[in-house]
Amino acid sequence: MPNLKSAKKALRQSIKRAEKNLKSKVEVKGLIKQVKKAVEAGDNKAEELLKQTGKKLDKIAKTGYFKKNKVSRLKSRLAKRVNKMKK
């Protein structure tokens, strides 16, 4: 347990950030799975899910949880799958 006031605050902040990061991570993983399932099923809503996933990934990159290159890579790979499905 922290003794100093600033250490207590830092602990509260880190707990809050960890919860937020975990929530975002779980949300993105779920969206990515939904896109992949929609592509496999040949569903037209894959494009809409791709847009939602892209927005969420960009938001996460802005906060610094994922690096921007990782986000770009994920978005690119998902877009490739969706475009392949359309053909």
Residue 87 pLDDT > 80: no
How many angstroms separate the Cα of 79 from the Cα of each of 16, 59, 61? 33, 18, 18
Query: 5-86 has which CATH code?
Result: 1.20.58.110
Contact assessment for residue 35 and residue 53, using Cβ atoms and an 8 Å cutoff: yes
Residues 17-40: pLDDT tens digits? 999 999 999 999 999 999 999 999
Q: pTM of this prediction?
A: 0.82
Domain ranges (residues) in the chain: 5-86
Contact assessment for residue 69 and residue 23, using Cβ atoms and an 8 Å cutoff: no
